[in-house]
Amino acid sequence: MKSKFNERIVLVGGGGGVYRIAKHLKNVRPNITTIQTVFDNGGHSAKLRDERGVLPPGDIRQAILALADDSIQPILRDLLAFRFSERGASSLNNATVGNILVTALTEITGNLPAAINAMCQLYQVRGTVLPVSLDDAHLAVTLSDGAVLRGEGLIDNRSTDDDRTIKSAQLEPSAHIYAKAYEALAAADKIVFCPGDFWTSLIPNLLVDGFADAVRESNALTVMVVNIMTKKAETHGYTSSMFVTELCRYLNRPSIDVALCNATPIPSSVQGTYSQELAYPVELGNNSSANIWVDGPFADWSGNIVRHNDKAVSQIADL
């Protein structure tokens, strides 16, 4: 039997959630692969996509930063994460240097996978970073009133006055899974669905043709790290059960193996900041969508920003 130390762990999601988990997990497990969505169409990524014809590199850049060896010079980390401030009508307003570097390497090497490999070598990445697909597609969701919103930026940035909820999601046109992403999922010992923007960062991966098939082919332990806070535009009123149930719907399976849910109360002083955006702690609501529910002290709120702490990462490693 393979030891837990050598197990192959695949992290699935978008930028922030994968970043937080990968950054810490790389120090306790050597075989980490991240699979990222590439369907972002907001901010400067949208400009790069429209002007240069490249897939959005933002989530890829964050995964590289997370898995970069801790020995690299701090200035290189700062460079990859640096975002230009707004200055008049500059074309660099809100541009991230890491996204520009991935775009430049894509043009130099001729394709995104080669660009990612080059960046991983430059940053001595401890693991593997993969896009979920190489196809150019956009996210679309159907809302509770039947309206269809197209584009991650429009979906994610809806007004807090918009009380419509998301009922389903699809990619337009359809996208096919990147072969190496399929292989990584099928060979995984553990597949972790990471927290973050649920409908715009996590679910788009599952919408790719072949993704659910790869998970089904694997013998992996399937784990979901449930969000700590809701988000008005995407998961308003969601309990932990609702997150897992929706995940299972798009995986086309009745349940996953394990759900990790925060059970630590968030201080009212911290909640106040989030409540202004109508974001609230996710309430526990265990059901049959996960075979094992692990409720624990998984929240950190240093700097008044709620994130998963190292205990959650350690729990993932020990499952």
Average pLDDT, the chain: 91
292, with CB counted inside 10 A (0-12, 13-18, 19+), is middle
My answer on whether 113 and 195 are in the same domain is no
* pLDDT for residue 43 is more than 90: no
My answer on whether 319 and 249 are in the same domain is yes
Average pLDDT over residues 132-145: 96
My answer on whether 29 and 56 are in the same domain is no
What's the CATH number where 18 sits?
3.40.50.10680
Among 24-38, 68-82, 153-167, 207-221, the range with the most confident prediction by mean pLDDT is: 207-221
Among 153-167, 182-196, 272-286, the range with the most confident prediction by mean pLDDT is: 182-196
Q: Which domain holds residue 210?
A: 1-37+176-319
Tokens standing for 302?
A: 């240093």
- Report the SS3 class of residue 304: helix
147, with CB counted inside 10 A (0-12, 13-18, 19+), is exposed
* pLDDT for residue 1 is more than 60: no
Please state, in angstroms and rounded to a whole number, the distance separating the CA atoms of residues 163 and 9: 37
Is residue 45 very low, low, confident or very high in pLDDT (cuts 50, 70, 90)?
Answer: low
* pLDDT for residue 26 is more than 80: yes
Please state, in angstroms and rounded to a whole number, the distance separating the CA atoms of residues 61 and 37: 12
My answer on whether 52 and 114 are in the same domain is yes
Maximal C-alpha separation, the chain: 60
My answer on whether 76 and 21 are in the same domain is no
Q: What is the pLDDT of residues 52-76, one digit of tens each?
A: 777 878 889 999 999 999 888 888 8
8 A C-beta contact, residue 93 and residue 86? yes
My answer on whether 200 and 235 are in the same domain is yes
Express the helix, strand and coil content of the chain in percent, nearest 5 each.
40, 20, 35
My answer on whether 45 and 31 are in the same domain is no
pLDDT for the residue numbered 213: 98
Q: What is the strand order of the sheet 166-172 is part of?
A: 148-150, 138-143, 166-172
Q: Is residue 213 part of a domain?
A: yes
Based on the structure, what is the number of domains in the chain? 2
Please state, in angstroms and rounded to a whole number, the distance separating the CA atoms of residues 72 and 69: 6
My answer on whether 279 and 253 are in the same domain is yes
pLDDT for the residue numbered 44: 64
Q: Is residue 221 part of a domain?
A: yes
Q: Is residue 200 part of a domain?
A: yes
My answer on whether 17 and 67 are in the same domain is no
What angle, rounded to 10 degrees, do the helices at 97-109 and 74-81 form? 90
Q: Is residue 274 part of a domain?
A: yes
8 A C-beta contact, residue 260 and residue 225? yes
- The strand pairing partners of 140, in sequence order, are 150, 170
8 A C-beta contact, residue 54 and residue 106? yes
* pTM of the predicted protein model: 0.95
- Report the SS3 class of residue 245: helix
Q: Is residue 159 part of a domain?
A: no
